[in-house]
Structure 1
């Protein structure tokens, strides 16, 4: 697997300004339209993605989620979300959502750099464990297993891409 680009830096942000929002929106739309399993089925427009992004950003403003932004060569190359639990029984772990690297930047080791930043941000928050899900049929679980994630379950037919095209949702976790 290629190593991370030396100029790639992933950092958690608690405040998303309009310029960063625009970059997140563009990335999410492009990743979705390239077939990325990040909550949509292509084709999508920015108008489709914007309300979902804005809802996510409301949770960031409330402190319920953190955006981890990956910059390579000074530009947004990808991002992910740490979704924090409000339950006192679950404050030691979080769910990782919307992991994405822009299609033009894939194959450069940036996914690993992004996830390293996600793990660092989680540790900085005092988290001990992370959970994420992947859409079956893409083989992406192997990427996460290479980062130490372990599968603990599959939910058959949880994701419906189209009538007759149901996919399983694969659950993975890692101890930090």
Structure 2
């Protein structure tokens, strides 16, 4: 496996924004279940990314950047709870590895890094959702996540193609 590093990022400059936008667009067009149904353009993804960047700037979310040999290879978002009663929890969003880098164990490296970032922030539990019908829940189960519920038909990927949204959690 190439040298991979995951770091927490709390600011996003224009060059990083461009890299994140290209990655998210490419992952979406490769069929990744990261909030869009292909085909998408950078213009489709940009407003959603900009909302993430705004929440990162506000301290409500943290980017976990996956770099391989110094180059951005993927990322995930930790969405922090604003409730004083749930500050030990976060939701993991938009987990993605660039299609050119998939199949190299980097998804596991990214999520291991996400767990490290979360622990460093004092988090004890993580929550995430996956799109049913992809089989990706097995990947997360291998990382210690367990399904605790599902919303039948919550995700409409196309007319007549509704998927369950599976909810998973992990104690760090």
TM-score, scaled relative to structure 2? 0.99
Query: Following TM superposition, by how much is the alpha carbon of 1:74 offset from its aligned partner in structure 2, in angstroms?
Result: 1.5
* 1:115 to 2:92 alignment: no
Q: What corresponds to 2:161 in structure 1?
A: 165
Shift of 1:17: 1.0
Alignment pair present for 1:10 and 2:10: no
Unmatched runs of 5 consecutive residues or more in structure 1: none
Equivalent-residue separation in structure 1 for 2:70 and 2:80 (angstroms): 28
Runs of 4+ aligned residues of structure 1 deviating over 3 Å after TM superposition are none
Determine the structure 1 residue equivalent to 2:75: 79
How many residue pairs were aligned?
Answer: 172
Supply the RMSD in Å over aligned alpha carbons: 0.6
Show structure 2 runs of 5+ residues with no match: none
What residue in structure 2 maps to residue 100 of structure 1?
96
Equivalent residues of 2:2, 2:69 under 8 A apart: no
Aligned residue for 1:139?
Answer: 135
* TM-score for both structures, normalised by structure 1: 0.97
Question: Which residue is equivalent to 1:34?
Answer: 30
